[in-house]
Structures are given as C-alpha cells and as structure tokens.
Amino acid sequence: MNPGARVLLLCGGKGTRAYPHTAELPKPLLQVADRPVLQHVMEIYAEQGYADFVLAAGFKAAMIDDFARGLPRSWTVDVVDTGEDTNTGGRVRRCLDALGATFLASYGDGLGDIDIDALLTFHRAHDGSATVTTVALPSPYGTIEHDGRGRVTRFREKPQLPEHRINAGFFVFDRAALVEATGEDLERDVLPALGRAGQLFAYAHPGFWRSMDTYKDSVELSALCADGKPPWSR
C-alpha cells in the first residue's frame, strides 16, 4: 500500500440519469461486467499501490457500507455518511477529518487508465492547491470531413476533440483548497473559485477515460471487459 495519500471517492449522489436502475441502488453500485463500477474505480488505485480509501456515501449509504465490507481485506476503507442531499463540495468537506494534508479524489463512476504516480508528481511540482485531470472531449456525434470544394472525404464516428478538454475527475487536493474555496458544488463553485485564484492546475491525461452516466454506459463498459483486461487497467 502506498502511504502517500488517501483516496476519497464521491459515491453519494442519486444517479438520476440512470433512473430507474438507480431508484433503489446507488449509481456507483451498478454493475460493470461482474462487479460494481465503484470497485473498478478502486482497483485503478489499488493496482498502483493506493489502497487507503474514504467513501463519501449519501443516497442509500447503508448499501455502500455493505459493499465496503466485501472488499479485499488488504485495503483500508472508511465509509462516511455525508448526507443524502449534500452536494459534491460539501461531501468533500465532510470527509476532511478523515483525510491528510494532501489527498486524491475521484468520482465513483469514472474509469480511466490514469497514472496516479504521475498525477501526484505533477501536483507536487506546481504551486497550486488543486489538480484536476482533463481528457479530450468525446464527441457525441459522428463528424464529416470535406475538402475546400465541399467534397466529403471522411466520416469519423464520435471522435475525440483534443482542442476541447473536460473534467475527468481524478483530482489531487491540498486540504487548504477546500478550506479557502467557498460553495457547496465542487464543479460549479469550488473548482471555478480555485481557478480564479490561480490555485487550480490541469493534468492532461492522454489515454482511456469514460464515465458511467447512464445504464446504457454500464452495458457498453461491460462489453469492453469481454476480452479480459479492460481498457482502464494499466
């Protein structure tokens, strides 16, 4: 186990975009292949030596607690009930007492072959208090390329758009970042405030990443595991 940083996983939301599959089940417990997507996220970290976790639960927190009891005994896992209606920034703050001066954080439903050591090294090399991992925007549509006369030359099926970057989670925070930046919403309040203060840096991840926003995503991610090693495993 890497002693360098605890890993906070946000897994307390209601997952309304995956309804009705999340009516009685927290979205991070939806299955990808043979186990919950949350376990896949934890394995991304644990396989790289980071197996000291804090789970920020909320909706159906008791189910997250039951899930945690079945995880490998070699992992350290604390579950914090942060409240059913608490927003993402508030969930992080309610877990600060269980975290160190610098900690890793992720959403409980985003999968990527992130190099965690490289992410931490990047964070420690800059003078900000927070780092967010970014990836190229995946287009929801196919694109058409054509020449100067309008003649179509190629169709591209849902390409990545590298000139546009999006938040992929996989954060590193210094405790001070959450103390100084106000607001309850991590994405709409805390991160923009840190950006305005010059405290937020972006780590560009070039590899695989995908979030599980809907039940359809869980089916498609399961299909990516059919040949054995999933693309988010390093």
- The domain that holds 33 is classified in CATH as 3.90.550.10
The pLDDT value given to residue 181: 86
Number of domains into which the chain is organized: 1
Q: What is the mean pLDDT, run by run of 10 residues, along the chain of 234 residues? A: 80 64 79 92 97 96 95 96 93 94 95 96 97 88 83 79 86 93 92 96 95 87 87 89
Please report whether residue 103 resides in a domain. yes
Please report whether residue 175 resides in a domain. yes
218-224: list long-range contacts, CB under 8 Å, 24+ apart.
218/18, 218/21, 218/30, 218/31, 218/32, 218/37, 221/32, 221/33, 221/37, 221/111, 222/31, 222/32, 222/33
Please report whether residue 80 resides in a domain. yes
Please report whether residue 45 resides in a domain. yes
Question: Residue 88 sits in which domain range?
Answer: 7-136+163-224
The pLDDT value given to residue 156: 82
Please report whether residue 184 resides in a domain. yes
Please report whether residue 229 resides in a domain. no
